[in-house]
Structure 1
Amino acid sequence: MKIIKVTPTMAEAYVKLGAQLEAETDFLLYGAGERQMGIEQAETMLKSIQEQENAVILAAENDGELVGHIMCVGGRAERNRYTAQIVTGVMKMFQGQGIAAQLFRKMEKWAREHHIHRMELTVMVHNEPAIQLYKKAGFIKEGIKRDSLCVNNQWVDEYAMAKIL
């Protein structure tokens, strides 16, 4: 297992990973089949990330297949350029192997090298495994977003979590 930087040439593999993750869980923003991102759209998005000095996508690669990722995107304004939003996911069959923790360690190293001061994310309040992972990575709960998502016709709260570097 190795951690690599996702590049525009990996658009097809990245689309496949996203579709797999969204099919496996209800803990992500998009549900199964909801995101309509094609390879060309992914290429464009990955080029944009590559050109932004305060953004990166890292992925866990196993035998040439992407099995997990972490995206870090900093703000575009001068006032929030040092704050980055984090999005992550690991395929079910690879969970519990320390891959997410490895992705977070690599992301933090990258963030420090790129002068990110604050990393933030949201997580559904009933996603205990993710909350524990984020706490181990040094994130703290800063608040709660009440009824912020509607999943399977049920309102779901999210925790806002952050880590100051």
Structure 2
Amino acid sequence: MKFEPKQIILKNRKTVLIRQAAISDAENLLNCIKTYIPTSNFIPKLESEVTLTVDQEKEWINSFLVNDNSLLLVAEYENKIIGNIDATGSRRKIMEHTAVIGMGMLQEWQNIGLGTAFLSATIEWARNNPILELLWLQVYTDNELGVQLYQKMGFVANGIIPNFFKQNNTYFDNLTMTLTV
């Protein structure tokens, strides 16, 4: 299902384009991800684990273009990708009505409305998608701003798995949240 691009004015008064990722975005998107992963305390992936090649990134982007219950959006400012959100629909028939959300953005674009814009666009798309009924995500319980954002967008807490994440011998709890669309 196609996504209509949207221009969003953020709290910093800059206008950002939110649009569906294209295969031609692979290198730009990979560079963005490689930049924000090491600066994030709440994405459960280490910098050393970002090992995709540009060709593999193209395949990843294509997986969203060919699956009707999935969406990959990018935010672009002055022709540079500054963040992304994906709703990855389940490939299993019995769960194809569900999609898990993942999101990341460059540090300088956090806390100015981009996360809200990303989620709003994704939720609107999901509500218009005849396949999807449930969006879900996982978030560190320590990520108070993230949890507040998801609650503001209508996600509800479904349960916590204690000590789910472990980094530098420190454990963090995982909260699963859902939104019926």
SS in 2 for 1:155: strand
- Answering whether residue 161 of structure 2 is matched by residue 145 of structure 1, we say yes
Q: Deviations over 1:69-95 (max 9, x none)?
A: 110011112211110000011211011
Give the drift of 1:33: 3.0
Matches within 5 A, 1:1-150: 1-115=16-130, 116-150=132-166
C-alpha displacement of 1:68: 1.4
> Aligned partners of 1:57, 1:24: CA distance in 2, in Å?
22
- The answer for unaligned runs of 5 or more in structure 1 is none
Q: What RMSD, in angstroms, separates the aligned Cα atoms of the two structures?
A: 1.0
* Runs of 4+ in structure 1 over 3 Å off: none
Give the gaps of 5 or more residues in structure 2: 1-15
Deviates more, 1:146-155 or 1:85-94: 146-155
Q: What amino acid is the match of 2:159?
A: G
Structure 1 letter corresponding to 2:147: I
CA contact (8 A) 1:123 1:159 kept: yes
Please say which of residues 106-115 and 116-125 is displaced more in the overlay.
Answer: 106-115
Alpha carbons 1:19, 1:33 under 8 Å: kept: no
Distance in structure 2 (CA, Å) of the matches to 1:134 and 1:21: 20
Q: What is the TM-score of this pair, normalised by structure 1?
A: 0.96
Alpha-carbon contact 1:72-1:87 (below 8 Å) kept: yes
How far the C-alpha of 1:38 sits from its partner, in A, is: 1.4
Distance 1:65 1:99 in 2: 15
Q: How many residues align?
A: 165
Could you tell me which amino acid in structure 1 is paired with residue 143 of structure 2?
A: N
Structure 2 residue 173 is the aligned partner of structure 1 residue 157: yes
Name the SS of the counterpart of 1:27 in structure 2: coil
Distance (Å, rounded) in 1 between the aligned partners of 2:146 and 2:171: 19
The TM-score, its normalising length taken from structure 2, stands at: 0.88
| CA shift for structure 1 position 149 | 1.3
Q: Which whole-Å CA distance do the structure 2 matches of 1:161 and 1:152 have between them?
A: 26
Identity fraction in percent = 24
